[in-house]
Structure 1
Amino acid sequence: MKNHLSIINYHSLNCNGRLVDLNSPKIMGILNLTPDSFSDGGKFNNEKSALQQAEKILKDGGEMIDIGPQSTRPNAEFLSSDEEIRRIGNVINEIKKEFPEALVSLDTFYAETVKFGFNEGIDLVNDISGGQFDEKMFDMVAETKLPYILMHVNPSYETMHDKVNFDDITLNVNQYFAKKTNELLQKGIKDIILDPGFGFGKSVEDQMKMINETQFLGFGKYPVLIGISRKSFIYKPLGKSPLDINEETQKLHLQILKQGAKILRVHDVLEAKKTLMEWESGRV
């Protein structure tokens, strides 16, 4: 029995013909195939270590694995789609073969990388650009019929981390979501997940406001994904490192679960799973 603060919206996704019920929130584990990601760069950028990490994500309670061939931290190296595909190699195929129960999400803003990933067996598209960095993205997602994670971000790769002074962050993000979901629906894309874009061009204050107002994001029309794992708006004000804020992060995860968030995108799957189980038990 959930406590009276909990908000329940019923959502499901069609992932390659497999119906995924989001009535119970899911943990999405991050698998970076990059040498330069901000907290785990170079750890999993070969096939063997990537498979081991995928196994750990699933063992620790993750149901989704988000594969990222390109770092999008500030000042990261900009890669072409060809380079992303080269980095991915056989990883998607091997994960689907070894762990058929896993839902594999591909983190890319390129239509060509999505096409490659779809042929390898991905289940979701996670696009930080909202279709703004590659004009072919929405058409490609429509072609694949895969669920699409729509993130709020500034309109270009060059400006994605530029701080913006928003009048009302929740209102601004919702206006963006309304416009973009309309575009997606016109293309026939119905399985949409909303990501408010923590860590991309927003002040600490605005990001804390989004956490406090998670229940209002998207007006409950679509499932919401929250990715606050190891983000600087948490660790910098505390004077800590990205690897030293687990307790604070789990408190925030609990807060957003109470407000109806459906997917937590995280590095520390085991800790997030404990938080999810605590929330589901109704003890908090």
Structure 2
Amino acid sequence: MQNHLSSINYHSLNCNGRLVDLSSPKIMGILNLTPDSFSDGGKFNNEKDALKHTEKLLSEGAGIIDIGPQSTRPNAEFLSSKEEIQRIGKVISQIKKEFPEALVSLDTFYAETVRFGFNEGIDMVNDISGGQFDETMFDIVAETRLPYILMHVNPSYETMHDKIKYEDITLEINRYFSEKTNVLLQKGVKDIILDPGFGFGKTVEDQMKMIDEVEYLGLERFPLLIGISRKSFIYKPLGKSPLDIDEETQKLHMKVLQQGAKILRVHDVAKSAAVVKQFCDKNKKC
């Protein structure tokens, strides 16, 4: 593993002209503006509470704040882009004003929401659909020149949670990444982050295999984001709740960091930041 780690190229991202070095893994703190998210729905869906939670996430070690106006859990309420924009309101611009050092990611599969977010000051786009739910997504990302998080997912909103048992999940994800990144690169999108899509349409067995094979995901050309926080493939087999698997999650975070993951998307920033520090201290890589 050490040899593999030392061979990974360190990456940097151009976020609106600000160069972000990923030689040290980054924590992406989740800010849900939704009333119906599975673990924290309704807690932060007003401007005051959203700013307060952002301050907490940043103080605990988050370098990126991922703003989600729409829940993508199974059976969630489906919002239009217009409804997403209404829900976001002034949260992005207020965060940028109050916390100028924070990087803001916008979690949406709509190009129009990206355009709105860009005008409000976002630094990157987190699209769970891989450009499949809005055919103009890749074009708006190319136009804004924002870093783009490309996630592996089934091809439609209706099927995104349909469980598929793959013959070789790692091969399937890398095939998908290869096809999509080629299109993005042709359009001029240079800053791409890859997310293998834990929690979306994959069996528990395949997701555990993904954890074991993180080092083989992502083609080594692009930084890898891992989002396993409060995911059912961890808590359901244990008979626990999403809020009761911190210890198990942090062990898995360490495992993926050791295999080269560069961004952890998490709810619990403090505990995840402690794991990143432990990883850096042990490996002298950060």
TM-score by length of structure 2 reads 0.97
Q: Are the structure 2 counterparts of residues 244 and 5 from structure 1 closer, same or farther at C-alpha, using a change threshold of 3 Å?
A: farther
Q: Does the alignment pair 1:168 with 2:177?
A: no
Within 2, Cα distance between the matches of 1:181 and 1:76?
Answer: 29
Where do 5+ consecutive residues of structure 1 fail to align?
A: none
| Partner SS, residue 218 of structure 2 | helix
* 8 Å contact kept, 1:5–1:258: no
| Partner SS, residue 129 of structure 1 | coil
Within 1, Cα distance between the matches of 2:272 and 2:155?
Answer: 31
Give the Å deviation of 1:74: 0.2
Which residue in the other structure is 1:242 paired with? Answer: 242
Which residue in the other structure is 1:84 paired with? Answer: 84
Amino acid aligned to 2:126: N
Which residue in the other structure is 2:137 paired with? Answer: 137
Within 2, Cα distance between the matches of 1:175 and 1:77?
Answer: 31
| Residues 157-204 of structure 1, C-alpha deviations (whole Å, 9 max, x = no match) | 000000011010000000000000001001100100000000000000
Within 2, Cα distance between the matches of 1:154 and 1:197?
Answer: 10
Q: Does the alignment pair 1:178 with 2:213?
A: no
Within 1, Cα distance between the matches of 2:172 and 2:2?
Answer: 30
| Residues 25-62 of structure 1, C-alpha deviations (whole Å, 9 max, x = no match) | 10000000000000000000000000001000100000
| Partner SS, residue 34 of structure 1 | coil
Within 2, Cα distance between the matches of 1:5 and 1:189?
Answer: 27
Where do 5+ consecutive residues of structure 2 fail to align?
A: none
| Residues 134-160 of structure 1, C-alpha deviations (whole Å, 9 max, x = no match) | 001000000100000000000000000
Which residue in the other structure is 2:41 paired with? Answer: 41
* 8 Å contact kept, 1:152–1:176: yes
| Residues 54-96 of structure 1, C-alpha deviations (whole Å, 9 max, x = no match) | 0001000000000000000000000000000000000000000
| Partner SS, residue 72 of structure 2 | coil
| Partner SS, residue 219 of structure 1 | coil
Give the Å deviation of 1:218: 1.7
Within 2, Cα distance between the matches of 1:81 and 1:282?
Answer: 44
Which residue in the other structure is 2:222 paired with? Answer: 222
Within 1, Cα distance between the matches of 2:56 and 2:129?
Answer: 28
Amino acid aligned to 1:226: I
Within 1, Cα distance between the matches of 2:282 and 2:241?
Answer: 31
Alpha carbon RMSD of aligned pairs, Å? 1.3
Structure 1 runs of 4+ aligned residues shifted over 4 Å read 2-5
| Partner SS, residue 233 of structure 1 | helix
Q: Are the structure 2 counterparts of residues 35 and 178 from structure 1 closer, same or farther at C-alpha, using a change threshold of 3 Å?
A: same
Count of residue correspondences: 283
* 8 Å contact kept, 1:16–1:123: yes
Q: Are the structure 2 counterparts of residues 84 and 6 from structure 1 closer, same or farther at C-alpha, using a change threshold of 3 Å?
A: same
Question: 1:41-190, aligned counterparts within 5 Å?
Answer: 41-190=41-190
Which residue in the other structure is 2:203 paired with? Answer: 203
TM-score by length of structure 1 reads 0.98
